[in-house]
């Protein structure tokens, strides 16, 4: 029988929900119907699509794995209609244990299953904890075309692709759950191109598009021809079902498809923050969000992200002034709320703060006022926000940036209160850049207004927590340009004190920042989850002990 000289493959770049097996199955069926209208022979979904990715320790729950397999087997029955076959990611229980698998569905049955070989166990990944690796195997025979299916990490080294090429693969389809961080799309293409050059085989790379807790999956699915030229590029941060048409060319196939221009750098980071907040709020069933709007830049950018994510009608901003709150801040907060079109309330906190101080007076007798009294203001504000959340249901958005989270410039049970933080992995200097960016641009699909939504005065004035008279952040911290450069060296690059000093930074300043970084670990363990946009976020990537006496002496 002569093998076919063409094949049409639909790429399903979609937003699954972890644990929503029935919902994901319905989404798969709808996508297959759409692919059929476009003349697809096969539709390719992403990694563990049926259960959502990453499922983490749900894989250790036998009923979850069984439900995923049952849903895949149910979907397989649909393919008896002669329409598109299905390649779908799922957990699969084999003889050795549970695998991260890709199942081929065709002719009304599960036509074959392939298991992920290379299980990542670094950074945000912990797959060796829950999966057993598969063995090196050959390609599927799908209607006469030999399709190799390496799963995600399997293309980051050459062994799996080499085996597939040697066993007759003609086309590679790679299901992925590849999380976002800045620069990741270029890295993916470079890795895929290396495998294409080595094998000479065209490659289709499918990636999911969603927020899942602190991880963002940006989509950006693509395909490369056998000569490593770009065959097609789907957009990032957008759900897509696109049918691609491949013609046989030599030992592989060739395609010329749409090539979207991807957003990058600060625009991509801002979009990731919006997507992460939107999916966290909606997937967890909150009716909206509430946040403190102080007149400062961090709360302003978070308010803008919330409106872009959810719409102004689902965002409630509350200004909570005390005697140190300036008229400038009151005006800036009101101006920001008006520009965004959100509900805005002013709740003075003098009475509760002074009530706490009166209650504590017998215990604090003979001591000087200081940071404890300052933190009472923050904790009263946190209590008010949590009370509104408790009463009416909206989730509290907490607004501390990565610079503050790094050095502990935040109050436990105060401004750290909340369910999610969209700027948790954004350094302060980038907060300024994103604020300026948002005033001239907004992401596709954003629900907020065009134009200036963060008053310019918020961006240009000196940052302050306003917990005492004439307070400025730089009373306690180095200038943010210096602080962030040191933090990036310590956190992202794990550089030593000596290496950072060699870059021109003051020794005592670097040692102070390092000390604060270590001391604040206990606070970060209690912080709300937030969007990951850097290579090393706090939590999944950077896991330092709380009890830790190591100090780099430089």
Active-site residue among 47, 170, 404, 514?
47
- Give the whole-angstrom CA distance, residue 500 versus residue 490: 8
Q: Is 47 a catalytic residue?
A: yes
Active-site residue among 152, 273, 317, 336?
152
Nearest Cα residue to 61 out of 109, 19, 17: 19
Residues 220, 214 contacting (CB under 8 angstroms): no
Strand partners, 164: none
Assigned token pair, 166: 């040697």
- Those residues whose C-beta lies under 8 Å from the C-beta of residue 280, and which sit 6 or more positions away, are 211, 213, 419, 420, 529
**In the block, residue with structure tokens 């569905």:** 105
Residues 390, 419 contacting (CB under 8 angstroms): no
Residues 139, 170 contacting (CB under 8 angstroms): yes
Q: Is 302 a catalytic residue?
A: no
Q: In Å, what is the CA distance from 371 to each residue of 278, 378, 478?
A: 35, 11, 19
- Give the whole-angstrom CA distance, residue 533 versus residue 182: 6
Active-site residue among 27, 68, 116, 210?
116
Q: What is the DSSP string of 493-543?
A: S---HHHHHHTT--HHHHHHHHHHHHHTHHHHTTSPPB---SSS-BTTTB-
- Give the whole-angstrom CA distance, residue 24 versus residue 74: 13
Q: Is 152 a catalytic residue?
A: yes
Assigned token pair, 402: 């990565």
Strand partners, 290: 316, 396
Residue 216: its H or E element: strand 215-218
- What sections of 284-346 are H helices per DSSP? 297-310, 327-340
How many other C-beta atoms are found inside a 10 Å radius of the C-beta of residue 62?
Answer: 10
**In the block, residue with structure tokens 């290379």:** 118
Residue 103: its H or E element: strand 98-106
SS3 of 318, please? strand
- What sections of 38-183 are H helices per DSSP? 62-78, 159-166
For Cα atoms 350, 470, 327, give the angle at the middle one, nearest 5 degrees: 60
- Calculate the CA 51 to chain-centre distance: 18
Nearest Cα residue to 158 out of 127, 201, 121: 201
How many other C-beta atoms are found inside a 10 Å radius of the C-beta of residue 444?
Answer: 9
- Those residues whose C-beta lies under 8 Å from the C-beta of residue 236, and which sit 6 or more positions away, are 185, 209, 218, 219, 220, 260, 262, 263, 268, 271
Active site residues: 47, 116, 152
């Amino acid at each position: 029988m002569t093998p076919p000289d063409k094949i049409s493959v639909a790429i399903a770049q979609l937003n699954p929900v972890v644990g929503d097996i029935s919902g994901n199955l319905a989404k798969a069926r709808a996508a297959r119907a759409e692919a059929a209208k476009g003349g697809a022979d096969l539709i390719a979904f992403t990694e563990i699509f049926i259960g959502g990715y990453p499922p983490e320790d749900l894989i250790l729950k036998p009923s979850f794995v069984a439900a995923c397999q049952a849903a895949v087997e149910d979907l397989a029955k649909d393919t008896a209609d002669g329409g598109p076959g299905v390649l779908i990611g799922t957990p699969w229980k084999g003889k050795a244990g549970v695998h991260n698998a890709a199942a081929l569905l065709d002719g009304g049955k599960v036509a074959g299953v392939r298991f992920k070989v290379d299980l990542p166990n670094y950074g945000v990944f912990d797959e060796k904890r829950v999966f057993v690796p598969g063995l090196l195997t050959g390609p599927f025979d799908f209607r006469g075309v030999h399709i190799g299916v390496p799963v995600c990490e399997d293309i980051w080294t050459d062994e799996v692709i080499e085996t597939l090429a040697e066993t007759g693969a003609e086309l590679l389809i790679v299901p992925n759950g590849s999380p976002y961080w800045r620069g990741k799309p270029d890295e993916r293409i470079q890795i895929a191109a290396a495998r294409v050059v080595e094998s000479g085989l065209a490659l289709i790379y499918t990636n999911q598009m969603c927020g899942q807790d602190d991880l963002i999956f940006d989509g950006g699915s693509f395909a490369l021809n056998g000569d490593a030229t770009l065959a097609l590029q789907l957009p990032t941060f957008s759900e897509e079902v696109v049918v691609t048409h491949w013609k046989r060319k030599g030992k592989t196939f060739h395609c010329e498809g749409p090539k979207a221009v991807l957003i990058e750098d600060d625009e991509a980071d801002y979009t990731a923050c919006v997507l992460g907040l939107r999916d966290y709020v909606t997937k967890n069933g909150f009716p909206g969000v509430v946040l403190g709007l102080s007149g400062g830049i961090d709360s302003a950018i978070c308010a803008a992200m919330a409106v872009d994510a959810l719409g102004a009608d689902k965002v409630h901003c509350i200004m909570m002034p005390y005697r140190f709150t300036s008229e400038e801040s009151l005006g800036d907060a009101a101006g920001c709320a008006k520009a965004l079109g959100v509900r805005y309330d002013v709740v003075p906190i003098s009475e509760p703060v002074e009530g706490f101080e009166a209650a504590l007076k017998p215990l604090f007798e003979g001591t000087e006022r200081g940071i404890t009294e300052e933190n009472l203001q923050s904790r009263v504000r946190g209590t008010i926000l949590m009370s509104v959340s408790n009463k009416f249901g909206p989730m509290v958005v907490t607004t501390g940036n990565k610079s503050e989270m790094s050095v502990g410039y935040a109050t436990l049970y105060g401004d750290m209160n909340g369910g999610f933080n969209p700027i948790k992995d954004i350094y302060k200097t980038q907060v300024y850049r994103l604020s300026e960016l948002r005033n001239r641009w907004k992401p596709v699909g954003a629900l907020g207004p065009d134009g200036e939504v963060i008053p310019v005065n918020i961006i240009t004035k000196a940052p302050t927590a306003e917990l005492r008279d004439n307070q400025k952040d730089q009373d306690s911290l180095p200038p943010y340009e210096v602080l962030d450069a040191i933090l990036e060296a310590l956190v992202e690059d794990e550089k030593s004190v000596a290496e950072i000093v060699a870059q021109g930074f003051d020794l005592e300043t670097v040692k102070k920042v390092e000390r604060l970084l270590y001391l604040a670990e206990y606070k970060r363990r209690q912080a709300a989850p937030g969007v990951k946009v850097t290579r090393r976020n706090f939590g999944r990537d950077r896991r330092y002990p709380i009890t830790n006496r190591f100090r780099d002496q430089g």
